[in-house]
Amino acid sequence: MLLEGKVALIAGNATEIGQATAIAMSVAGASVVIGDYEIDPWLCTIATIRSRGAEVLFHPTDVTVARAVKALVAKIATVFGRLDVAFNNTCTNASRVPLAEQEEFEVVGVIDHNLNGLWLCLKYEIEQMLKGEGGAIVNHSSIFGLTGSVNDAIYVSTKHAVTGMTKAAALDYAQQGIRVNAVAPSPNFDLMPMGRSVKPQDVANAIVWLCSDQASFITGHTLPIDGGFTAQ
């Protein structure tokens, strides 16, 4: 199994991708820790993981609050003694309208979650990984972190920032045993060259692989999972 014996963190939203990744990491042999604001959206995922005999821990966490993220990673260190891999699923959006029509409160919220939340997760994950044998981190970017999109200026901007932060963090820790990559899923529509929309499992499989030793020489990369969309 690709993550046999590893301790894996899923930090952020209970999206379909986040939930699929939690299950996929457990199937790959990892003990899974989930850090999110509320447990209810995760109950089915937690039950699925436990039904297969795998270990899963939920810790209530607002990823936009430094003390909360610090406490999450400290809990992992206390319970498991290590953190090996992490998926930062910090991903939210504002209303899809032209830039000048976007409201300030929504813009601030998206930046706080998608960018500041990611930075906080990376900061405390990396601090913990440096105490051990290193690790692998995957961030949730988007194909719109590589291209543009109509009526999505703030989301696009934050996802470009995710791509950039991934590259910078990867270079910062390239010689300290920590790899940092990102996945860039396409939106859920049927205009992909492969003729279907992306499935959560498509993304989860890629995340597990990027976190595994099979990807041991890959860092600073944002992997499109888009059925060929960005190849056009």
Catalytic residue from among 37, 124, 155, 173 = 155
* Token pair listed for 221: 């990369």
Q: What is the pLDDT along the chain (232 residues), one digit of tens a residue?
A: 999 999 999 999 999 999 999 999 999 999 999 999 999 999 999 999 999 999 999 999 999 999 999 999 999 999 999 999 999 999 888 889 999 999 999 999 999 999 999 999 999 999 999 999 999 999 999 999 999 999 999 999 999 999 999 999 999 999 999 999 999 999 877 678 998 899 999 999 999 999 999 999 999 999 999 999 999 8
Q: Where are the alpha helices (DSSP H) in 65-213?
A: 66-80, 104-111, 117-131, 153-172, 200-211
| Catalytic-residue membership of 173 | no
pLDDT at 187: 84
The helix (run of H) or strand (run of E) holding residue 48 is helix 43-51
- Answer whether 197's CB lies under 8 Å from 190's CB: yes
User: How many CB atoms are located within 10 Å of the residue 76 CB?
Assistant: 25
Please count the residues of the chain.
232
The pTM of this model reads: 0.96
Write the DSSP symbol of residue 73: H
State the Cα angle at 116 between 115 and 119, rounded to 5°. 90
Residue ranges of domains in the chain, CATH in brackets: 7-231 (3.40.50.720)
pLDDT at 190: 67
d(CA 113, CA 120): 10
